[in-house]
Amino acid sequence: MKISWKVILLWTLPALAIGFFLWQGAFGSSGIEIGQNTARTRMTYGRFLEYLDNDRVRSVDLYENGRTAIVAAVDPQLNNQLQQWRVDLPANSPELISKLREAKVSFDIHPPRNEGAIWGLLGNLIFPVLLIAGLFLLFRRSSNVPGGPGQAMNFAKSKARFQMEAKTGVMFDDVAGIEEAKEELQEVVTFLKKPERFTAVGARIPKGVLLVGPPGTGKTLLAKAIAGEAGVPFFSISGSEFVEMFVGVGASRVRDLFKKAKENAPCIIFIDEIDAVGRQRGAGIGGGNDEREQTLNQLLTEMDGFEGNAGIIIIAATNRPDVLDSALLRPGRFDRQVTVDAPDIKGRLEILDVHARNKKLAPEISLEAIARRTPGFTGADLSNLLNEAAILTARRRKEAITMLEINDAVDRVVAGMEGTPLVDSKSKRLIAYHEVGHAIVGTLLKDHDPVQKVTLIPRGQAQGLTWFTPSEDQSLVSRAQLMARITGALGGRAAEDVIFGDAEVTTGAGNDLQQVTGMARQMVTRFGMSDLGPLSLESQTGEVFLGRDLMSRSEYSEEIASRIDAQVRSIVEHCYDDGKRIIRENRAAIDRLVDLLIEKETIDGEEFRQIVAEYAIVPEKEQYVPHI
């Protein structure tokens, strides 16, 4: 078993201290060095004088300046055998020497020895020296340990990870689905490898590149690919590692980081989650964070200050560009903002192809079908999807991933873990009507996405689910599509109302109503799709940035607020009435689908549409918002 040097020191130092005190106790004072003549018994001074008067004492040895004596005398109780006693003499007994001479007793006086003083001096010198040496060794060794007590004076140093030749294991070929961002960043790599190509025509490479996008879209992965492609010194640090509780530490770390970068230029500095240190100055009720603002000021100066930082390229990533300080985003600091958004169907197909390289897929697997079924998925979501499918495959003891595992993995990623199937009861039939209501309304509306499947298998908090798969990625959504989505979301509540009556309406539509209200309000306040006209009455961001948006949010009169509420209610009521009409006109198809769904628990989209085609009555496509 390997014993740490810290453990050895922790045991050795207390042992030295204890030994020091024991040493002092043993040798600090001059004791009686009697050797082999040490008496085993004691004799009182009175008895000693009695023995002396009776001529029984043969010899006396005096120690400690006459305070102690070793007496050799004849003991009458032991047949006059010669014995030794120790006698404690009084402090003032000058007549004792005279009595010994008169009795003609042999006596000797032993002077005190100075060995105790010598050992005490050595103890006072040796042990403190050993203790100081041990403590010095302890602090010296701990100074090389990250976070050790010896690092207390290094808290102002930069914590950036440095690689002289970044070997991240990621290249541009490993990054898929964001070709536009790769093309922008390829110029950075080319400049670092061949700067003369740009300087020959007077071009100046951007000093900073800001990667902006939702979480999981591949911003950090792009930075790793740049480091792997460029082959230049690479510094990586998180924005939160600059800010500490001590004022001035963050600014000191920024200075230290750029000092090291200038010594290794040309190089790349990657700052992840820069919004942790680059938030707007002066924001917040009661003032901002002084330490964060000082750190930001130092960062602004180092990026584009009086001295400049030639040869250093800063790459930063954030998913909150709206909270960054405007001075940080200006040209000369972050010249470019590269948007890394969620991939389209082509990008998702490329990402799936990258993540499927080390997965064993069945021959019938179609990556294109998976890409079509996963709109809005980021690169991280797709990676997690294939990993979940592989886990399910191993759990089911299969040799390759099939579409069944893919579909179950999609359901698990989106809706949560599969729950216990419902028993056949009134509750199960009501949930079946609710889900069929969603599906049939969405199927019969021209502008709604097609049904992918309907299931009664619980997942997460949902007791049943209806999946819709868009035929194509939609970057723009029309008014008719929004109205169709609202009507489809209200289809479940409409089915409960029509089939079971108003008294049997359940809480199952709670989440649907939240989505419906949000979409209707955005139609009125953001998209100008109401009688209020083409007005944007609310900001584009739903999140409030404390200290800025809280005080400067768009305000409108109470009359406009009342008209907004009326318009939202009008849109929802119109769509709800439209949904109930579709349910009433297609009651036969709904009953047939509910019986089949209770029997099978899951109906795929193709089978669902075939049954609807046999019974359904297609409603009128006119959709409008009545005037108030």
Our answer to whether residue 435 is catalytic in this structure is: yes
pLDDT of residue 305: 66
**Total number of domains constituting the chain:** 5
- What value, to the nearest 5°, has the Cα angle with vertex 87 and ends 84 and 91? 155
| Nearest-10 crossing angle of helices 605-615, 426-444 | 80
The Cα 477–Cα 345 span in angstroms is 17
- Strand order through the sheet with 208-212: 161-163, 234-238, 267-272, 312-318, 208-212, 336-339
Of 37-41, 54-58, 197-201, 589-593, which has the strongest mean pLDDT?
A: 589-593
The reply to whether 109 falls in a domain is yes
In terms of domains, do 50 and 141 share one? no
Domain boundary among 304, 323, 339: 339
pLDDT of residue 456: 87
pLDDT band at 284 (very low <50, low <70, confident <90, very high): low
Whether 236 is in a domain gets the answer yes
Rounded (5°) CA angle 574-577-582:
125
pLDDT band at 40 (very low <50, low <70, confident <90, very high): low
Instruction: Out of 83, 113, 143, pick the residue that ends a domain.
Output: 113
Q: What pLDDT score does 393 carry?
A: 92
437 and 376 in one domain? no
* Residue finishing a domain among 414, 442, 474: 414
Q: In the chain, what percentage of residues exceed pLDDT 90?
A: 14
CA-nearest of 469, 473, 431, 429 to 450 is 469
pLDDT at 53 over 60: yes
For 507-558, the pLDDT digits (tens) are: 888 889 999 999 999 999 989 898 888 888 876 554 554 455 544 455 678 8
Looking at residue 309, its pLDDT comes to: 60
124 belongs to a structural domain: yes
pLDDT for position 484: 93
Distance CA 224, CA 14 (A): 50
Is pLDDT above 60 for 293? yes
Q: Which of 202-216, 303-317, 384-398, 451-465 has the lowest mean pLDDT?
A: 303-317
pLDDT score of 151: 47
**Does 495 score more than 90 pLDDT?**
yes
Do residue 17 and residue 132 come from a single domain? yes
534 and 586 in a single domain? The answer is yes
Average pLDDT over residues 452-477: 80
Predicted local distance difference test score (pLDDT) of residue 141: 61
In a domain, 626, yes or no: no
Would strands 312-318 and 267-272 be described as parallel, antiparallel, or unpaired?
A: parallel
Q: Are residues 516 and 399 in the same domain?
A: no
| Strand arrangement, sheet containing 465-468 | 465-468, 451-455, 602-604
What does the pLDDT read at residue 425? 76
Domain hosting residue 149, numbered range: 5-28+116-154
Q: What's the whole-model pTM score?
A: 0.66
**438 and 498 fall within a common domain:** yes
Q: Assess contact for 437 and 492: CB atoms under 8 A.
A: yes
Please tell me which residue, 127 or 79, carries the higher pLDDT value. Answer: 79
Report pLDDT for 556.
Answer: 77
3-state class (DSSP) for residue 2: coil
Q: Please report, for residues 39, 188, 235, 264, 313, the alpha-carbon distance to residue 193 in angstroms, rounded to integers and kept in the order given.
A: 94, 9, 17, 15, 13
Q: Does 87 score more than 60 pLDDT?
A: yes
User: What CATH number is attached to the domain comprising 391?
Assistant: 1.10.8.60
Q: How far apart are CA 278 and CA 292, in angstroms?
A: 8
Going by pLDDT thresholds of 50, 70 and 90, the confidence category of residue 573 is very high
Report the pLDDT value the prediction gives residue 458, as an integer from 0 to 100. 84
Q: Does some domain include residue 420?
A: no
For residue 523, the model assigns a pLDDT of: 92
User: In this structure, are residues 199 and 362 in contact, taking their beta carbons and an 8 Å threshold?
Assistant: no
Task: Report yes or no on 624 lying in a domain.
Answer: no
Segment 149-168 mean pLDDT: 57
The average pLDDT across 479-502 equals 92
The answer to whether residues 86 and 128 belong to one domain is: no
Residue 608 forms part of a structural domain: yes
CA 96, CA 77: separation in Å to the nearest integer? 25
Q: What is the CATH number of the domain that holds 322?
A: 3.40.50.300
Is 500 contained in some domain?
Answer: yes
> Is the same domain home to 243 and 308?
yes
Tell me, yes or no, whether 534 and 555 share the same domain.
yes
Q: Which helix (H) or strand (E) holds 382?
A: helix 379-395
Can you give the pLDDT at residue 472? 67
Confidence of residue 162 (pLDDT cuts 50, 70, 90): low
Per-residue model confidence (pLDDT) at position 168: 63
* pLDDT, position 68: 83
Out of 95, 435, 606, 614, the active site residue is: 435
What is the average per-residue pLDDT within 416-445? 85
Tell me what pLDDT residue 263 has. 84
Mean pLDDT of 326-349: 86
Residues 126 and 97 in one domain: no
Q: Is the pLDDT of residue 470 over 50?
A: yes
On whether both 321 and 200 belong to a single domain, the answer is yes
For residue 472, give the nearest of 380, 403, 373, 383 by alpha carbon.
373
**Residues 102, 147 within the same domain:** no
Side chain identity at residue 475, one-letter code: S
Higher pLDDT, 388 or 218: 388
What pLDDT is stored for residue 9 in this prediction?
A: 52
